[in-house]
Amino acid sequence: MERIFFNNNKNLKGIVDEVFVKEGQPVKVGDVLTTISTQLEKVNVISPIDGVIKNVYIIDSLIVSCNDTLFEVVTHNELLELTKEPNNINDTLREGLDEFNYFDNFDNVESDPIVDSLEKKLDQETQIAPNNLNDKIIFNNHTLPRTEINVSKKEHDLLNKNLVQINDSITQELSFFTNNTSLEMENNVFKEETKTFIPKFNQENIIKEEIKKDLEKEKEKFNDLLDSKRLSNSINEKNNYFEKKDIIDTKVEKDLSTLNDFNQDKKTNSEINGSLYKEKEINIKKDNLQSEKVEFLNTNSSINLSLNINQLLNLQDILYKPSFEKNIEIKTSTLLIKALAMSLDSLNFYENKDEKNITIIKKTNTDFFKKTFSHINYNLNIFDIQNIFNNSNLSYKKTDFVIYDFIEYRNVISSFNIYDESIFSISLNNINQLINNDGTMYNNLNLNISYNNKFVSIDKTLKFIDVLTNLIENPGYLI
């Protein structure tokens, strides 16, 4: 089995342009398996032997280092040995062999002699002797025992079933007798009661009429008396009403005058009290703002930091060609801002915050602008994020997280201590070249971090620096 590695003379990292083979695909000596672009050249990786691709360890656009394993290639005989143990072949390799019909193209595949001998022995032992399955089966029913069953039967006749007769005339006579007798009795009773009731009823009606007439006369007398009393009372009440009305009107006018004077005094006092209250409230707010400002300044801390960004700049060089094709220039500050946003998000800096916004304040030689971005989605590729940064329609507002970008400013800013009203602020200062202890040169970024102790602890800030350093030293995650 042959392992194929990524090698180049200058030990540079590269990006896989395209993978031309897959697992289970037959290859020959000299076939190009993949191409990898470094900062200086494009490398063609070829197959050293005839065989089959067993494993592929890379995909398109993957960043690989020098001496990384790319492929494993096995010969035909090695593949036959692997097929004797099913566990040696994974599902992807098996599907690739089936796709390329690898074994169908080799008729001379050797068989195992042990398996052949076992198959011959099994054929000899499983030979079936002739039998008489098709012979006819004859049954002799004379040899079967006989059994007789005696069943007794008794019939019963219905005696005198037609001797009963019903006479319909009896029912008709009974019905006629009952109806006639009832009607005659009711008529007699009604006649007797009517003879005694009518005279009594007439006499009572006469008495009621006389009483009713007497009541009508008494009622007329009472109404006449009542009307005369009402008229007298009405005149007296009317006179009393006008007298009381004059008294009430005089009192109301006096009370209204007093009330108007009171309201005027009350309004004047209220205006004076309101002015005094507003003045007092303004003084209290001024004192609170002053104390809050002093307290905020006292709780702000800052850290100065230097980072080696050689790997980040190498990635920017690798992205030059794709960015040129897309007509999008990937800037160093864009890669750094994405790294900062990913670091903030990984440590839950936005926890319990309703708005996840970042303000970027950028100063160049010719321009100065402030933009506020909604929470930067680090899952977007670097080209989409650069497009978002290039959008000039973004507005500005104060936020808890601020990034100051001075990388493209011609004046060198080595330190920038931030004392704004944000919770967490970062300043990207100038980039310069320094010399390592071994004599090699590297690109150094000066960076300042300012944070409020009331909201962000020193422990969380140091963890943020660790995550940010790891991303800048391994920038492949920023693509």
DSSP 203-233: HHHHHHHHHHHHHHHHHHHHHHHHHHHHHHH
pLDDT category at 352 given cuts 50, 70, 90 is low
CATH of the domain at 451: 3.30.559.10
Question: Are both 373 and 330 inside the same structural domain?
Answer: yes
Q: Is residue 150 part of a domain?
A: no
Residue 45 pairs in a beta bridge with 34
Those residues with Cβ within 8 angstroms of residue 455's Cβ, 6 or more apart along the chain or in another chain: 400, 423, 424
How much is the pLDDT for 153? 45
* Closest C-alpha among 10, 28, 110 to residue 73: 28
pLDDT band per the 50, 70, 90 thresholds, residue 4? very high
Which band of pLDDT confidence, cut at 50, 70 and 90, is reported for residue 154? very low
What is the count of structural domains for the chain?
Answer: 3
What CA–CA distance (Å, rounded) separates 24 from 67?
A: 24
Range of 160-164, 250-254, 467-471 with top mean pLDDT: 467-471
Mean pLDDT throughout 239-263?
75
For residue 297, is pLDDT > 70? no
258 plus 355 within the same structural domain = no
> Residues 232, 308: one domain?
no
Q: Spell out a b/e string for 435-460, using b for 16 or more CB atoms within 10 Å of the CB, else e.
A: eeeeeeeebbbbbbbbbbeeebeeee
Taking residues 173-184, what's their average pLDDT? 48
Per-residue pLDDT, 164? 47
Check if the beta carbon of residue 4 is closer than 8 Å to that of residue 70.
Answer: yes
Residue partners of 387: CB distance under 8 A and separation at least 6: 328
Among 147-161, 179-193, 317-331, the range of highest mean pLDDT: 317-331
Report residue 26's pLDDT band, with 50, 70 and 90 as the boundaries.
very high
Span 36-45, average pLDDT: 90
Range with the lowest mean pLDDT among 69-73, 196-200, 340-344? Answer: 196-200
Residue 289 and residue 320 in one domain: no
Is there a domain that residue 234 lies in? yes
Last residue of a domain, one of 298, 332, 364: 298
Assess if residue 164 is contained within a domain: no
pLDDT above 90 for 285? no
In which band, very low, low, confident or very high, does the pLDDT at 10 lie, cut at 50, 70 and 90? confident
- Where a domain ends, among 274, 298, 322? 298
What distance lies between CA 435 and its chain's CA centroid?
51
Dihedral class, residue 348 (left if φ above 0, else alpha if ψ from -120 to 50, else beta): left
pTM, to two decimals: 0.40
* 385 lies in the same domain as 441: yes
Q: Of all helices (H) and strands (E), which one includes residue 430?
A: strand 424-435
- Same-domain check for residues 473 and 451: yes
How far apart, in whole angstroms, are the C-alpha atoms of residue 208 and residue 223?
Answer: 23
Q: What integer is the mean pLDDT of 173-182? A: 48
Q: Mean pLDDT, to the nearest integer, of 37-47?
A: 90
Residue type, 289: L
- Which domain does 424 fall in, by range? 301-478
pLDDT for res 204 = 67
What average pLDDT score do residues 122-144 get? Answer: 51
pLDDT, one tens digit per residue, over 65-118 is 999 999 999 999 999 888 888 788 888 888 998 899 888 776 444 444 444 554
CATH number of domain containing 51: 2.40.50.100
Q: Looking at the DSSP assignment, which residues form a beta bridge with residue 18?
A: 35
> Which pLDDT value is given to residue 126?
52
Residue recorded with tokens 């009974």: 174
The three-class DSSP label of residue 17 is strand
Sheet (strand 63-64) strand order: 42-46, 32-38, 14-19, 63-64
Distance (Å, whole) CA 42 – CA 62: 14
State the DSSP H helix or E strand holding residue 16, giving kind and residue range, or none if neither. Answer: strand 14-19
Least confident of 167-176, 215-224, 397-406, 423-432: 167-176
User: Do residue 291 and residue 315 come from a single domain?
Assistant: no
> Are residues 333 and 463 both part of a single domain?
yes
Which of 250, 280, 298 lies at the terminal end of a domain, its last residue? 298
Does residue 350 fall inside a structural domain? yes
Neighbours of 132 (CB within 10 A): 5
What are the φ/ψ torsions at residue 462 (nearest 5 degrees)? -65, -35
User: Under a CB-based contact definition with an 8 Å cutoff, are residues 406 and 333 in contact?
Assistant: no
Within this chain, do residues 418 and 313 fall inside the same structural domain, yes or no? yes
